[in-house]
Amino acid sequence: MLSDRPGSGVNGRRTRTVLDVERLATALLQQLIRCNTVNPPGNERPAQEILAAELKGAGFEEITMVGSSEERPNLVARLRGKQDGPTLCLLSHVDTVLASPADWQHDPWSGDVSDGMLWGRGALDMKSQTAAEVAAAVSLADSGWRPARGELLIVSVADEETGGGLGAQWICEHHPELVRCDELLNEGGGPVIPFGGERYYGVCVAEKGVFRFTVTTDGVAGHASIPKIGDNALLKLAPLIQKMADRQPGLDITDGPRGMLEGLGIPVDGNPEGALEALRAKDPILAMLVEPMLGVTLAPTKVSASHKINVIPARAELRVDCRVPPGLGRDVALARITEVLGTDGYRLDFTEEVPGNASPVDTELFAAIESWIGREDPGAKVVPTILPGFTDSRTFRSTFPDCVAYGFFPHRHQTLYETAPLIHSADERIDVRDLGYATRCYADIIKERLG
């Protein structure tokens, strides 16, 4: 348990200033980063035990750690309210991607604080949000606060970085009663977006689906010393790859990105291509980040052909990562693929089909986020966004269809342009002021939603 708790306040309860809360979140994040939870193998238990001890010390009495193995548990902590009401879940994961210390200015498991930045693997994705969520809950529980209505859940899972099979998916399948919730805050949005002289905060309301596929071309094998004796299947992939290099499919705009564009002051009016061009003219970097939200995307990533260097391949395969907006399925994916590749000269097989997922924008939780930003960053605006990738929110939306799940981890000092290049990259770091900012956000939204 952290040792820098402030002294007792009124009625013997601990009280914390804004600076105290920032220090708590910072110290907790440093401890989490110093736990090497690179997945695989994960080894999340030491990090989960740190969180469990902190929550227990603050007064959480219902703390459970369950998982498919002792080394990789999922943590669930609960505070029950006095009356019926919504169950609000603050969700995060404590595993990370790998890191090569030689590429970093600070050791990726140091948790160093230098020039106001806290460095380490997980500083943005997403041990920082774990620390902020837990610090918010601890600061409230320490003060004697308990929900007037509903329940507060703190859920920290394992294995998100490899798909969640031992984390969110496992616990939702085997222990859904532990994590059933009505509202959820997770990763996927929040860093401020400067645009047109104004400041915007994105709330991720949806995630694209995954419709990965394999393109296969056929030929005739032969000895590679005589190139024309066979029919090289690999060469037939080249024009298909070039087609995907030359263009992406047409746009299929859905509610989330439409709301974002209109929130940025760019009307769609039945012309998403025109809206994208208008955004590109004003801010090409933001347009690059927004474009994948607006339709099906195709990214060729893996090629395989001959098993021997001296054999002309009779068969070649190209694997393509295809992402599809929520609400759209295989039919739209196939139509957009053939729009780019045509229909001749290859065979196509879908190898993975996971539909996109979304939550409505017009909710009390979204309004609570808007109200908080309005108070803390006057003049800033909140817009819905869609994530081109996926998070554990997809599992909760699937398991609990009525759950409103948003990605929101607000940063006021580091912009989206500064945070996005650091995720899964060297020199990952967070401004400690943003860590405190997010912690205060979660504490205030908890009180607003649960009383």
> What CATH number should be reported for the domain holding residue 282?
3.30.70.360
Percent of the chain with pLDDT over 70: 97
> What would the two tokens of residue 58 be?
């603050």
Question: 9 pLDDT band (50/70/90 cuts)?
Answer: very low
Q: Which domain holds residue 165?
A: 10-194+357-450
Is residue 381 within 8 Å of 160, Cβ to Cβ? no
Claim to verify: residue 64 and residue 88 sit in the same structural domain? yes
Q: Which residues contact 226 (CB under 8 A, 6 or more apart)?
A: none
Model confidence pLDDT, tens digit, residues 394-451: 999 999 999 999 999 999 999 999 999 999 999 999 999 999 999 999 999 999 999 9
Claim to verify: residue 143 and residue 232 sit in the same structural domain? no
Which of 447, 451, 441, 448 has the alpha carbon at shortest distance from 203? 441
Q: What is the average pLDDT across 7-28?
A: 71
Residue 46 lies in a domain: yes
Q: What's the CA gap between 90 and 113, in Å, rounded?
A: 26
Is residue 298 within 8 Å of 291, Cβ to Cβ? no
Claim to verify: residue 277 and residue 128 sit in the same structural domain? no
Q: What's the CA gap between 32 and 44, in Å, rounded?
A: 10
Claim to verify: residue 182 and residue 215 sit in the same structural domain? no
Which of 414, 397, 224 has the alpha carbon at shortest distance from 327? 397
Claim to verify: residue 318 and residue 233 sit in the same structural domain? yes
Model confidence pLDDT, tens digit, residues 132-157: 999 999 999 999 999 999 999 999 99
Q: Assign 439 to helix, strand or coil.
A: helix
321 CA to centre of own chain: 18
Claim to verify: residue 342 and residue 391 sit in the same structural domain? no
Claim to verify: residue 215 and residue 152 sit in the same structural domain? no
Does the N-terminal peptide bond of residue 257 adopt cis geometry, omega within 30 degrees of 0?
no
Angle between helices 127-142 and 432-450 (to 10 degrees): 50
Claim to verify: residue 394 and residue 338 sit in the same structural domain? no
Least confident segment among 7-11, 31-35, 70-74, 249-253? 7-11
The predicted structure's pLDDT at residue 14: 58
- One-letter amino acid of 247: R
Residue 389 lies in a domain: yes
Which of 322, 268, 256 has the alpha carbon at shortest distance from 293? 256
Mean pLDDT of the chain: 95
Name the one residue in this structure whose structure tokens are 């006021």: 412
Q: What is the dihedral of CA 424, 427, 432, 434, to 10 degrees?
A: -40
Burial 269-292 (b: 16+ CB within 10 A, else e): eeebeebbebbeeebeebbebbbb
Q: What's the CA gap between 226 and 66, in Å, rounded?
A: 60
Within the chain, what is the greatest distance between any pair of CA atoms? 89
Claim to verify: residue 51 and residue 147 sit in the same structural domain? yes
CATH of the domain at 97: 3.40.630.10
Claim to verify: residue 435 and residue 298 sit in the same structural domain? no
* Domain end point (choices 297, 332, 354): 354
Q: Assign 226 to helix, strand or coil.
A: coil
Q: Is the pLDDT of residue 18 over 90?
A: no
Residue 190 lies in a domain: yes
Q: Is the pLDDT of residue 6 over 80?
A: no
The predicted structure's pLDDT at residue 19: 79
The predicted structure's pLDDT at residue 17: 81
* Domain end point (choices 354, 371, 391): 354
Claim to verify: residue 289 and residue 390 sit in the same structural domain? no
Q: What is the average pLDDT across 195-214?
A: 97
pTM confidence score: 0.92
The predicted structure's pLDDT at residue 15: 61
Model confidence pLDDT, tens digit, residues 274-308: 999 999 999 999 999 999 999 999 999 999 999 99
Q: What is the average pLDDT across 308-323?
A: 98
Q: Is the pLDDT of residue 2 over 70?
A: no
Angle 280-281-284 from CA coordinates, rounded to 5°: 40
Provide the domain count of the chain. 2
Model confidence pLDDT, tens digit, residues 347-371: 999 999 999 999 999 999 999 999 9
DSSP for 278-307?
HHHHH-HHHHHHHGGGGB-EEEEEEEE--S
Is residue 328 within 8 Å of 353, Cβ to Cβ? no
Q: What's the CA gap between 86 and 61, in Å, rounded?
A: 19
* Domain end point (choices 320, 354, 388): 354
Q: What is the average pLDDT across 51-80?
A: 97
> What would the two tokens of residue 320 be?
């393509």
Q: What is the dihedral of CA 363, 125, 439, 57, to 10 degrees?
A: 110
DSSP for 298-332?
EEEEEEE--SSTTEE-SEEEEEEEEEE-TT--HHH
Residues composing the chain: 451
Q: Assign 100 to helix, strand or coil.
A: coil
Q: Is the pLDDT of residue 13 over 70?
A: no
> What would the two tokens of residue 416 be?
């989206």
Angle 412-414-420 from CA coordinates, rounded to 5°: 125
> What would the two tokens of residue 115 be?
């020039």
Q: What is the average pLDDT across 100-117?
A: 98
Task: Give, as one character, the DSSP assignment of residue 161.
Answer: G
Claim to verify: residue 235 and residue 340 sit in the same structural domain? yes
